[in-house]
Amino acid sequence: MMLRPHIAYRLGQLHIEEVALERIARRYGTPTYVYSRAALSEGFRAYADACRGHDALVCYAVKASSNLAILQLLAHLGAGFDIVSAGELERVLAAGGDPAKIIFSGVGKTAAELGRALEVGIGCFNVESFSELHRLDAVARDARARAPVSLRINPDVDPKTHPYIATGLKDTKFGIPIEDALAAYREAARLPHLEVVGIDCHIGSQLLEEEPLIAAVDRLTGLVDRLELEQIAIRHIDVGGGIGIAYQAEETVAVGSFVKRVLARIADWRRARHGGSPLRVLFEPGRSVVGNAGLLLARVEYLKPGHEKNYAIVDAAMNDLLRPSLYEAWHEVVPFQEGQAGAKRWDVVGPICESGDWLARDRELSLAEGDLLAFLSAGAYGMSMASHYNSRPLAAEVMVDRDTIHEIRAREPISALFAQEKLLPLTR
Ligand code: LLP
């Protein structure tokens, strides 16, 4: 039975591509994040293929999953990158990403981050405020450079997603309110060390409908019309993150049809108003590239059947996969052996000392201590949101390529937890 692309039961045992997950657990231990190279490549190609024949660039949102090998593979497939910190920038460079295909998003870029990005020659800064425009202009002046900028416009549309990951409504901290956009572009065009190149938005993540995004695109294209009247030329339009994925049985929009719809909408507008002069289109997908290409492998430590609830305590926790605790997100949990009988309902929880530490609730599973479990759809915002809470070292990461297992991050040794810490010179 196929559970996700390249994740399936074969002869009753859970496999990713041609490798049984049991083999990975034996060799690398648990908890371990496991990715499929084929699924990841297909996740990216769904965007790239739909863009074929258009002037478009797919900039993978590094925050979704930032392991160097994942970035390297995506760079190899032609991806650009959407980054939000100096750390993500250095990761992309270390993985061999092309600086010219990097765009830098985020509301709080420091002067040092702006300077470093300018120094390596990134493709575009997605600026989110008047203050950032001035800071970037000053940094570029000191570097005797001109910084390519796009303004992130907050189009004030409701993306209809979880409030923590909705970013395109007026009252969020993100972007420049659309009513201030003209003034911001005039300011950007006036500043001598900035070069206006684009316009962008990102209204939220895990969007299950295209309509809010199309509404946002329409607001941006309307603004481009106004800007062109003022001789402020825009070369690219960046529509932000990708479409949502199915964690449970949500109805989703296929990536290809989402991308084609956006491209067609923009092409139609260009044809109608501008006699065909095309505009480059950028996408910044994260979740839909890597989300279903990865899983978190864990082992059942203890079973605690109870009067009210049955608890299965596993060796992964909220520090490894935060999404359930933070958003009450639902991740499918599947056992290593297919279809074991005698099911009970279990809350699958970690060993961390708080009740918020749960990974799945009220799931019908047949479990024994020592069993392996896989949390599916954990490729995006899984490892990248992991922490050290309760002094738990970060999990290992492996990538499976057909019948080969590549360790792409060694399990963190305990000593690394406090390697940067220092004792006091206690003299009294
Ligand atoms: N571009 C920008 C500027 C973003 O802020 C994000 C995500 C993306 C692109 C990628 O969006 P995607 O294609 O992945 O939907 N931790 C949350 C998700 C936070 C998303 C933050 N921004 C979660 O686990 O659901």
Which tokens belong to 228? 């062109």
Q: How far is the CA of 91 from the centre of ligand 1 (A)?
A: 18
User: Do 114 and 160 contact (CB within 8 A), yes or no?
Assistant: no
| Residue 375: per-residue pLDDT | 98
- Is the Cβ–Cβ distance between 35 and 400 less than 8 Å? yes
Q: Where are the alpha helices (DSSP H) in 29-166?
A: 37-51, 68-76, 86-94, 111-120, 130-142
Neighbours of 21 (CB within 10 A): 23
Q: Please state, in angstroms and rounded to a whole number, the distance separating the CA atoms of residues 253 and 91.
A: 31
Q: How far apart are CA 72 and CA 402, in angstroms?
A: 18
Confidence of residue 166 (pLDDT cuts 50, 70, 90): confident
Query: What residue owns the CA closest to ligand 1's atom 16?
Result: 381
Q: What is the Cβ-side half-sphere exposure of residue 385, based on CA atoms within 13 angstroms?
A: 17
Nearest CA to ligand 1 atom 10: 241
Please report where in the chains the tokens 């420049």 appear, as a residue. 176
* CA of residue 4 to ligand 1 center, whole Å: 21
Query: What DSSP state is assigned to residue 164?
Result: G
**pLDDT bracket for residue 219 (50, 70, 90):** very high
Q: What mean pLDDT is predicted for residues 251-257?
A: 96
Confidence of residue 20 (pLDDT cuts 50, 70, 90): very high
Cα(29) to centroid(ligand 1), Å = 30
Active centre residues (catalytic): 353
What domains lie within the chain, and their CATH numbers?
Answer: 7-36+291-418 (2.40.37.10), 37-286 (3.20.20.10)
Residue nearest to atom 6 of ligand 1 (CA): 241
Ligand 1, atom 8, residue with closest C-alpha? 241
Name all residues whose Cβ lies below 6 A of ligand 1. 61, 64, 82, 105, 165, 202, 205-206, 240-242, 284-288, 323, 327, 381
Atom of ligand 1 minimally distant from the CA of 380: 24
Query: Ligand 1 centroid to 202 CA: how many Å?
Result: 9
Decide if 174 contacts 204 (C-beta within 8 A).
no
Closest to 331 (Cα-Cα) out of 348, 310, 307: 348
* Dist CA 129 CA 154 (whole Å): 11
Best-predicted range by mean pLDDT among 172-176, 278-282, 289-293?
289-293
Confidence of residue 330 (pLDDT cuts 50, 70, 90): very high
The crossing angle, in degrees rounded to 10, of helices 68-76 and 37-51 is 40
Average pLDDT over residues 183-210: 97
β-sheet bridge partners, residue 134: none
CA distance linking residue 239 with residue 201, whole number of Å = 5
pLDDT in tens, 371-390: 999 999 999 999 999 999 99
First-to-last C-alpha distance (Å) of the chain: 66
Nearest CA to ligand 1 atom 9: 241
Q: How far is the CA of 62 from the centre of ligand 1 (A)?
A: 9
- Distance separating alpha carbons of residues 178 and 184, to the nearest angstrom: 10
Q: Is the pTM of this model over 0.85?
A: yes
Mean per-residue pLDDT of the chain: 96
Phi, psi angles (nearest 5°) of residue 231: 65, 25
Distance of CA 219 to the CA centre of its chain: 24
Give mean pLDDT, residues 335-357: 90
Q: Give the span between the Cα atoms of 111 and 196, in whole angstroms.
A: 19
